[in-house]
Amino acid sequence: MADPYSLDVVVPCYNEEDNLPHTIPVLHDYLAGLLTREDVSLARFRIILVDDGSSDRTWQQIEAFTREIGATGLKLSRNYGHQNAMLAGLSVADADVVLTIDSDLQDDINAVLEMLKAYQSGADLALGVRRSRGEDSFFKKNTAKGYYALMKLMGAQIIPDHADFRLMSQKALKALLAHEETNLFLRGIIPNLGFRAEVIKYDRQTREHGETKYTLRKMLSLAVNGVTSFSAAPLRFVAALGISVFVLSMLLAFWFLMERLFVAKSTVPGWASTVLPLLWLGGLQIFCMGIIGEYVGKIYLEVKRRPRFIIDEEISAADIM
Ligand code: UDP
Ligand code: MG
């Protein structure tokens, strides 16, 4: 049997007033249930609720949870996004094992038991992977599929359908937090830390309360960030494209020249053959500059070394008593 260990559960919350009163008690009761299990050596747990700059009553609810169930509340100074909110929670987590889970509990909490067992048998990472996506919209399912295919094409090693439901040992967490880049792409970095990882499959549930907080804009930003954090393949693609177009145009020029010299056809220069390549090349150039710009922008953001999040307030049960 493993030595008794402690668990910190990090829950990012953004405008979740409709959700938290339903989900947090469920999460708390589930974890409390684990304390009494024979096959789990969990000694104690703490729920860390991170308010990612909500504009509704989320923070007031979190404050109440610190009193009612002894949770820790972390208030960020503004909305920093899901990934950074999670990192903020992780930065204060000091238990032996740390779990991250969305506040809507769309990720099946019953998988936590298996994750803890994976940890007890020596894994440093237990990665939740969605077996099915519940009633996620057609759009969400397919954009996700396309995204994983794109990442694979770009040579980034991420685990399809693994989002941010995962368990990490304190050792893995330290290794993660040693990555200093401002834009930390957790889904890519964590599976590649090199520690022993186990994949835990679960069925994704439907969000019961409130709306998704991942707008199309946030999804796109996560996707672009994932690609540019993990691979220079797009830049290489641009270079290859440039060379190909150049070689092609040389061949074409050669062909036209030969035709002029030997076929002796009086070719009247056509409108289409002048204008179309211009448009084509113009479009291509702008596209390529866009890709390069994406990377340059990333360098710009990284060199500033700005903090990933700013904590405005931290409260725990101890502060209130
Ligand atoms: N979230 C956050 N900051 C944001 C957007 C979302 O902390 O800017 C949280 C949100 O409260 C939830 C989790 O991230 O706990 C996942 O968001 P959501 O359930 O809306 O995403 P989906 O499941 O639709 O991908
Ligand atoms: Mg959700």
Whether residue 206 has its Cβ less than 6 Å from ligand 1: no
Whether residue 85 has its Cβ less than 6 Å from ligand 1: yes
Q: pTM of the prediction? A: 0.84
CB neighbour burial string for 83-114, b if at least 16 within 10 angstroms, e if fewer: bbbbbbbbbbbebbbbbbbbbbbbbbbebbbb
How many Cα atoms occupy the beta-carbon half-sphere of 183 within 13 Å?
Answer: 19
**Position in ligand 1 atom list of the atom nearest CA 163:** 25
Q: Which two tokens stand for residue 174?
A: 């330290």
Determine which residue's CA is closest to atom 8 belonging to ligand 1. 81
| Ligand 1 pocket test target in 102, 105, 164, 186 with most atoms within 8 Å of CB | 102
Torsion, Cα 140 11 209 313, to 10 degrees, reads -120
Q: Which residues contact 76 (CB under 8 A, 6 or more apart)?
A: 50, 51, 52, 53, 84, 85, 88, 309, 310, 311, 312
**Ligand nearest the Cα atom of residue 103:** 1
Q: How far apart are CA 129 and CA 160, in angstroms?
A: 8
Q: How far apart are CA 115 and CA 31, in angstroms?
A: 13
Whether residue 52 has its Cβ less than 6 Å from ligand 1: yes
Cα torsion angle, 121, 127, 128, 131, sign: negative
Per-residue pLDDT of 70-87, as tens digits, reads 999 999 999 999 999 999
237: left (phi over 0), alpha (psi -120 to 50) or beta: alpha
CA 208 to ligand 2 center in whole angstroms: 9
CA 218 to ligand 2 center in whole angstroms: 13
Helix (H), strand (E) counts: the chain: 11, 8
Contact 104, 19 (CB under 8 A): yes
CA 32 to ligand 1 center in whole angstroms: 25
Per-residue pLDDT of 9-68, as tens digits, reads 999 999 999 999 999 999 999 999 999 999 999 999 999 999 999 999 999 999 999 999
Q: From 256, 87, 269, 271, select the one nearest 183 (Cα to Cα).
A: 87
CA 210 to ligand 2 center in whole angstroms: 9
| Ligand 1 pocket test target in 135, 214, 308, 311 with most atoms within 8 Å of CB | 214
CB neighbour burial string for 274-303, b if at least 16 within 10 angstroms, e if fewer: eeeeeeeeeeeeeebeebeeeeeebeeeee
CA 102 to ligand 2 center in whole angstroms: 6
Q: Tens digit of pLDDT per residue, the chain (321 long)?
A: 678 999 999 999 999 999 999 999 999 999 999 999 999 999 999 999 999 999 999 999 999 999 999 999 999 999 999 999 999 999 999 999 999 999 999 999 999 999 999 999 999 999 999 988 767 788 888 888 888 888 888 777 788 889 899 999 999 999 999 998 888 889 889 988 999 999 999 998 888 888 888 888 888 888 888 888 878 888 888 888 888 888 888 888 888 888 878 886 666 667 667 877 888 888 888 888 888 988 998 898 888 888 999 999 999 876 654
Residue 262 per-residue DSSP state: I
State the pairing for strand pair 72-76/311-316.
antiparallel
Q: Which residues contact 3 (CB under 8 A, 6 or more apart)?
A: 41
Cα Rg, the chain, nearest whole Å: 25
Determine which residue's CA is closest to atom 2 belonging to ligand 1. 82
